[in-house]
Amino acid sequence: MRNLRMTKQPAKKTEITEEVPEQTPPKKEEDKSALLQALLSEEDDFYAFTLVGDIEEKSCNEVVSTLISMHHTIEKKMEARLEEQIIEKTAEMQDEAEEEGVQIVIEQEPPPDIKMYISTSGGAADDMFAMYDVMKWVQRSVDISTIGIGKVMSAGVPLLAAGTKGKRYLAENARVMIHNASAGAVGIIPTMEEEINEFKNIQDMYIRLLSENTNMSEKKIRSMLKKKANIYLSAKQAVELGIADHIL
């Protein structure tokens, strides 16, 4: 930060006038992304939070509680605004409505989006499923815009893809990775067999979520996972597969 100092200059006996050339405003960066401008635009209601780090119980608690709190706040504000609009509109049209039976129509603005910034290497599947379910519940009335930055891997990919269609973004240099679920089991054979079956179930759920929210079929995802242990994707490749919609 620069420190600017203003000093008082001694008065001069003569006045010298000089024409100052008109300064043209600096040109905006031509490659400035309109999508980025929209995300960073000033809004009366700005709802954004981050999921940065491993997906586990602590981060799950933070994400779930934040989503529920923001969703509740938005719904209450929208209800208050609607009541205010009704009162104002009724007052404006009261006489006309009473005399002619005019129906009052209120056009309410859509609720503001919740913006969820994601950068994670993945983590626990159960905690990811909890976040996913709450996201889908909130999306019944409020759109969630997901923005992938840095790395979006493993359990983080279904969360990025779970954002509202058309509002899922990836930073230009973000990396995406999907892979097979991994786990371990110890104990007697019946116990290990039960754990292996549950492990397969989690893998199936992971694939189903990806298929439901992307352009990839379950068959294609299974085929991809058989060929490589870890499938790394650029932002462009992830958009082509329908994991995200736009590159920032």
* Range 49-75 average pLDDT: 94
* Range 42-68 average pLDDT: 88
Q: What is the pLDDT of residue 87?
A: 74
Helix (H, G, I), strand (E, B) or coil at 32: coil
Q: What is the pTM of this model?
A: 0.74
Rounded to an integer, what distance in angstroms lies between the CA atom of residue 173 and that of residue 182?
27
Strand pairing class (168-170; 246-247): parallel
Q: Supply the residues annotated as catalytic.
A: 154, 179
pLDDT for residue 137 is more than 50:
yes
Residue 179 phi/psi, 5-degree rounding, is -160, 175
151-209 per-position pLDDT tens digit: 999 999 999 999 999 999 999 999 999 987 765 555 566 766 676 677 788 889 999 99
Q: Quote the mean pLDDT of the chain.
A: 80
pLDDT for residue 130 is more than 80:
yes
End-to-end CA distance of the chain: 28
Select the more confidently predicted residue: 55 or 2: 55
CA 244-69-147 angle, 5° bins = 15
